[in-house]
Amino acid sequence: MTDLYADGAAEANRTRAHWAVTALEAFGETTGQNYLDGSLDVDGDVLRELGGDLLADMFHLARLNGFAPELIIDAGRMHFEAEVDEEQAEENEATD
């Protein structure tokens, strides 16, 4: 595996967004919601529908395993905020 941060935090976050598109495409192919074209340009309504459905299904999986769905949201938010903070810190360093 290559260093995710080799090209900086902003590019690492773009890579993470591509991973999300890949996951949503796979989910959409399975459910018949084939709305994506592989790009990061995703309509908000499509993102809400596909992302919301995927999250709901993850919540069902969590519940079946005795895990609180809220913890998935909390973990995702924590990771997202930390990754955005890294990106902003790099931007601030570049302008100083």
User: Is 80 exceeded by the pLDDT of residue 92?
Assistant: yes
- Work out the average pLDDT over 70-75: 98
> Which residue, among 15, 11, 33, 14, has the nearest Cα to 24 in the 3D structure?
33
Q: How far apart are CA 26 and CA 52, in angstroms?
A: 15
Residue 23 belongs to a domain = yes
Q: Is residue 37 a part of any domain in this protein?
A: yes
For residue 30, is it within any domain? yes
In this structure, is residue 29 part of a structural domain?
Answer: yes
Does residue 25 fall inside a structural domain?
Answer: yes
pLDDT digits (tens, 9 = 90+) for 10-68: 999 999 999 999 999 999 999 999 999 999 999 999 999 999 999 999 999 999 999 99
The answer to whether residue 39 sits within a structural domain is: yes
For residue 2, tell me if it sits in a domain: no
pLDDT at 1 over 90: no
Rounded to two decimals, the pTM is 0.91
Query: Quick one: which of 61, 16, 63, 57 has its CA closest to 40?
Result: 16
Q: Which domain holds residue 69?
A: 9-95
Total domains, the chain: 1
